[in-house]
Structure 1
């Protein structure tokens, strides 16, 4: 399948732990990839020529707004940001988190409420331990779900 006939993957590349996995998968499967990141997160080696790169100025949510502007119905957005995920799902995109969890529309209310409560706790000075360290299992789970979602595209099955 050519890149032109395929939906695209959009990667929220600011602090993404899955960049290499996504690049490798997209190249092997000939899937168009758009990466969005701030000037603070430019990779040392740059990006391959076939990747559509959007570098935005540093600032709160600048990369998120650019990614949202690029997002279309049927695209796959890879992000760790629940707020951005909600906006992309509202546009008809699929969303995959960095640990391999697919966010479904029916989960958004609960996830956004949890995000709100966590932010309130942080403002009160209650900081959790933070996210657990990334494991090989996280990479494997992410790679399996990415493969599942993109295989569904090639079969024309929009609902995985």
Structure 2
């Protein structure tokens, strides 16, 4: 069970596949901006000592962490995930979503992103080698930091 953070806008992280550099950016931002960051995963996570950072371990299983994030995310929150279906679900709740490379999921783009994901999944299922994601670069880390700073600025303007 995830402890509910305060209802100030907060950040939820689909932490199982979140790159370490992104977690480090989030940990620093949590203390600097005094925003609650909750990492959700089906494994034990190490977090720095901070009253603004917590980890929540959920049971293993298909979409268990995603379901927990959707259950607790609210309008105005930020969700960090690579999972396009999870991003679609939190957008429906009025939350914002970005991936660790700093690409924002939006209500205007999510249908196309879901279609492309499903198409690529069909290709892989048919045995086509679609390759994998490109290596994580410093420019990805910077793009993420820029998106996060934008969200934090909008949050502070409330």
Q: Mark yes or no: TM-score above 0.5.
A: yes
Going from structure 1 to structure 2, the CA distance change for 1:85 and 1:5 (only over 3 Å counts) comes to closer
Equivalent residue pairs, number: 151
Q: Does 1:32 align with 2:33?
A: no
| CA distance in structure 2 between the partners assigned to 1:58 and 1:89 by the alignment | 24
The aligned counterpart of 1:65 is 67
| CA distance in structure 2 between the partners assigned to 1:47 and 1:55 by the alignment | 16
The aligned counterpart of 1:22 is 26
Alpha-carbon displacement from aligned partner over 1:60-108 (angstroms, at most 9, x marks no partner): 1111111111111110111000000000000000001110011110111
| CA distance in structure 2 between the partners assigned to 1:24 and 1:91 by the alignment | 27
Alpha-carbon displacement from aligned partner over 1:36-57 (angstroms, at most 9, x marks no partner): 0012xx23x4453522322012
Q: Does 1:84 align with 2:81?
A: no
Q: Does 1:94 align with 2:96?
A: yes
> Aligned with 1:111: secondary structure?
helix
| CA distance in structure 2 between the partners assigned to 1:46 and 1:34 by the alignment | 10
RMSD of Structure 2 on Structure 1 (CA) = 1.6
- Tell me the TM-score normalised to structure 1 length: 0.88
Gap runs ≥5 in structure 2: none
